[in-house]
Amino acid sequence: MNNHDDIPDEPPPSYQEATGTPSHTHRPSQAPPLPPRQPSSKPQSNVQAIPASPSASTHPPQTFAQLLPRSHTVNRQFPPCINLYRNDAFPGAIQRRYSLGEHQHTPLYAVGVWQNWSTQASLVLHNGPSEDYPPLATVAFDAYGRRMNVTLPPLPGEVSAQPISVTAPTMMSSTISFRVEVPWPGPNGSVQWRKEAFEWRRSNSLAVSALGGSAQGWKLVRLSKELPPGGLTMAGSGPPSGDGFEVVAACTTAVMSLTKLWKFCFLGTGVSGALGERWAVMAVITGLVTWDRENRR
């Protein structure tokens, strides 16, 4: 996705690499009699055909998923751009229900919001289009709404996950900051997880205005300039922030609609998939926090 957010969705990695083997339907025993010096060249011809098969050809990786072992590859959790829609015609005083998706009639995820600040879950992103699905991420604010804990699914190989502390805006700083694990190629084809820092910053930049909503919104800045190795197609292509870091997502309030409330888009390295699904969930749930905080005012 470029700076104008109009690059189409990069399809998820192929669910199966081609593993075809060279054809052996033509067997030497079926061939007509050959002169004495020809049989030695026949096996040589078969050997030379093997490197030409799809499984033996080598190409530079085009996506981050190809850098990872197949056991670690996953389908994309979110499309490049999603919207938040109102579900309740008459929302209740305590809990309100919303949905996330590209279109209102094809919801992908249910969102529940409790109107009171609570150390319990105040915002829940469900892993499906209704609240019958288990939580994919939850946000619990402190009693004053100054800090929050985000709970995500555990990392691969772990049975539980510690809440991630997120700093809310204050009088001294208007940012929402957090650190979250992103995948990184390790030795011998393994996957390592390292924490990177990100900040949601208020913005009226092109990254926000291109969403087609309110001109004032938020941009998510990746506080690292190191690109994942392997020549990612869109890594690093997000618009730069004022201090030179890459903007990897943006969101803003929707306008001119009674049901569409909020818009969100991944950008650059964010839409490339290089930062992983854990990061993508964290980006969406904290982006919802920006909308939720402003909606409570």
Q: What is the DSSP string of 249-293?
A: EEEEE--S-SSEEEEEEE-THHHHTTTHHHHHHHHHHHHHHHHHH
Specify if 208 maps to a domain: yes
Contacts of 92 (CB under 8 A, 6+ apart): none
Per-residue tokens: 19 = 């593993």
Specify if 274 maps to a domain: yes
In CATH, what number is assigned to the domain containing residue 189?
A: 3.20.90
pTM surpassing 0.75? Answer: no
- H-helix segments, 139-181: none
User: Tens-digit pLDDT profile for the chain (297 aa)?
Assistant: 444 444 344 444 443 443 344 444 443 344 444 444 444 444 444 434 333 333 333 333 323 333 333 333 334 689 999 999 998 766 665 778 999 999 999 999 999 998 765 556 689 999 999 999 999 999 998 776 678 999 999 998 888 889 999 998 888 888 999 999 999 888 888 889 999 999 999 999 999 999 999 999 999 999 998 876 554 555 557 777 888 899 999 999 999 999 999 999 999 999 988 899 999 999 999 999 999 988 876
Specify if 103 maps to a domain: yes
Q: How big is the chain by its Cα radius of gyration, in Å?
A: 25
Specify if 76 maps to a domain: yes
Q: Which of 285, 252, 247, 288 is nearest to 266 (CA)?
A: 247
**Counted domains in the chain:** 1
Q: Which of 81, 128, 115, 129 is nearest to 287 (CA)?
A: 81
Specify if 260 maps to a domain: yes
Domain of residue 186, residue span: 70-295
Q: How far apart are CA 132 and CA 193, in angstroms?
A: 31
